[in-house]
Amino acid sequence: MLRNQRFGDTGLNVSILGLGAGQIGQSDVPESVASDVLNGALDLGVTLIDTAASYGLSEERIGRHLGHRRDEFVLSTKGGQAIDGYPDWSAGSLSASIEQSLRRTRSERIDVYFLHSCPVEVLRRGDLQDTLDQAVAAGKIRIAGYSGDNEHLAFAADSGRFAAIETSINIADQWNLRHVVGDGTDLGVIAKRPIANAPWRFDQRPIGNYAELYWQRLRDLELDPRDLDWAEFALRFSAYAPGVHSAIVGTAKLENLRRNVEAANHGPLPPAMLTDIDQAWQRVGSDWASST
Ligand SMILES: NC(=O)c1ccc[n+]([C@@H]2O[C@H](COP(=O)([O-])OP(=O)(O)OC[C@H]3O[C@@H](n4cnc5c(N)ncnc54)[C@H](OP(=O)(O)O)[C@@H]3O)[C@@H](O)[C@H]2O)c1
C-alpha cells in the first residue's frame, strides 16, 4: 500500500503518489476508462486526486465516478479565470470558479483550492488571497494554495497567504525544487509533471508537444536510468525529493497507474543515482528556469 504522509502543516495527509486527473478529462477517453482509472487509483491506495476547472471533463467525471467515495481522498482543484461574465483573476471569477468546482465534483468542500498559475503581478494585489480566505471561512474550501512556477511561485511561497503549493518538479525541471521548496517548508507541496511528461516516448524531437523542452533537456543531461525503466527512475526522483509530499503523475491508463504505484513503493533512488542527477544538473541545468 502506498505511504501516506503529512501534507505540510495543513492537517491533511496525502499519498506519496497522487493522480493527476488531467488526462482523464480528455473527451476521447471513454467514460468507462475514466471511471476505472479514478476508482482504481483509490483502490490502489492513492489518496490525492488533482484536477482543475480547465481540464475538460475531469471535474465532472470525478464527481460522477467518485462522488460516493468522496471521503476517501483529498481533492485538489484549480481555477480563477476563464469564467463567462467576469474578468480573469477577479474576485468574481474566483468565487464563481470555486462554486463551479464544488458543483461539478459533487463536493461539499474542496480540500485544496489552487490559484491556477496567475502571474506575480496578480498575487501582489492580494485581493484573490482575501477571496480564498473568505471561502475558507465559509467552509467552501479547506486549504488555499498557489499552483505555478519560477518567480510567481517564489512570491506565493514567501507571502504567508497560502498553505500549499503545486509546482513542476522532475529530473528535467528542478528550479522550483532548488530555489523554493529547499529542504522543506511548512507548506504542503505537490510535484506536478513529476515524470517530465514521459519524453522518452518520442524517438524524434516532439516538435510542438508539451514534452518537447523536457525531451531536449533529458538529452542535454545525459542521465542514465541504469536497470530502471525511465518512468520509475523519474518518479522515484520526484516523489522522494526533499520537501515533496505527493507526486501527481497524470495518466488515463490503469496499467500505467499500477506501474507507478509499484515504482513509488520501491522508495527513493539509490544515493549514487541521486549524485549523478545532481552532477548532471550542476553541469548543464543550473541556469534552467522551470518550464511553464
Ligand atoms: N497547475 C498546472 O498548471 C499544471 C500543469 C501541468 C500539470 N499539472 C498537474 O500535474 C499532473 C501531471 O502532469 P502531466 O500529466 O503534465 O505530466 P506527467 O505526470 O509528468 O506525465 C504524464 C504523461 O506520462 C504518461 N505516463 C504516466 N505513467 C506512465 C508510465 N508508467 N509509463 C509511461 N508513461 C506514463 C502519461 O500517459 P498515459 O496517459 O498514456 O499513461 C502522460 O502522457 C496533471 O495531470 C495535472 O494534475 C498541473
Render pLDDT for 137-149 as a digit per residue (tens, 0 to 9): 999 999 999 999 9
3-state secondary structure of 251: coil
**Residue spans per domain, the chain:** 4-285
Task: Give CA–CA dist 138/132, Å, rounded.
Answer: 10
* Percentage with pLDDT > 70 across the chain: 99
Mean pLDDT value across the chain: 97
34, 5 contact by CB (below 8 A) = no
Amino acid at 242: P
Predicted pLDDT at 292? 75
Q: Is the per-residue pLDDT at 184 higher than 90?
A: no
Tell whether ligand 1 has an atom less than 6 A from the beta carbon of residue 192.
yes
Q: Residue 237's pLDDT band (boundaries 50, 70, 90)?
A: very high
Q: How far is the CA of 134 from the centre of ligand 1 (A)?
A: 32
3-state secondary structure of 166: strand
* CA distances to 139, 223, 244, 262 from 235, in Å: 34, 14, 12, 11
Q: Is the per-residue pLDDT at 244 higher than 80?
A: yes
Predicted pLDDT at 185? 81
Q: How far is the CA of 126 from the centre of ligand 1 (A)?
A: 31
Task: Give CA–CA dist 153/159, Å, rounded.
Answer: 10
Q: How far is the CA of 194 from the centre of ligand 1 (A)?
A: 7
Task: Give CA–CA dist 227/204, Å, rounded.
Answer: 23
As a whole number of angstroms, the longest Cα–Cα distance in the chain is 54
238, 194 contact by CB (below 8 A) = yes
**CATH number of the domain located at residue range(s) 4-285 in this protein:** 3.20.20.100
Task: Give CA–CA dist 34/23, Å, rounded.
Answer: 9
The H or E element that residue 142 is part of is strand 141-147
As a whole number, mean pLDDT of residues 228-239 equals 98
Task: Retrieve residue 127's grid coordinates.
Answer: 485581493
The best mutation among 113, 146, 193, 202 to test binding of ligand 1, ranked by most ligand atoms within 8 Å of the C-beta, falls on 193
Atom of ligand 1 nearest to the CA of 192: 10
Q: How far is the CA of 196 from the centre of ligand 1 (A)?
A: 8
Task: Give CA–CA dist 270/280, Å, rounded.
Answer: 16
3-state secondary structure of 212: helix
Predicted pLDDT at 189? 98
* CA distances to 52, 149, 250 from 33, in Å: 19, 31, 14
Atom of ligand 1 nearest to the CA of 259: 31
Alpha helices (runs of H) in 50-173, residue ranges in sequence order: 58-66, 91-104, 120-125, 127-137, 150-158
Atom of ligand 1 nearest to the CA of 51: 47
Task: Give CA–CA dist 188/13, Å, rounded.
Answer: 9
Predicted pLDDT at 183? 64
Q: How far is the CA of 22 from the centre of ligand 1 (A)?
A: 7
Task: Give CA–CA dist 114/76, Å, rounded.
Answer: 7
Tell whether ligand 1 has an atom less than 6 A from the beta carbon of residue 231.
yes
pLDDT in tens, 14-56: 999 999 999 999 999 999 999 999 999 999 999 999 999 999 9
pTM score, whole prediction: 0.98
Q: Is the per-residue pLDDT at 87 higher than 90?
A: yes
Q: How far is the CA of 251 from the centre of ligand 1 (A)?
A: 6
Atom of ligand 1 nearest to the CA of 195: 20
Tell whether ligand 1 has an atom less than 6 A from the beta carbon of residue 25.
no
Q: Residue 1's pLDDT band (boundaries 50, 70, 90)?
A: confident
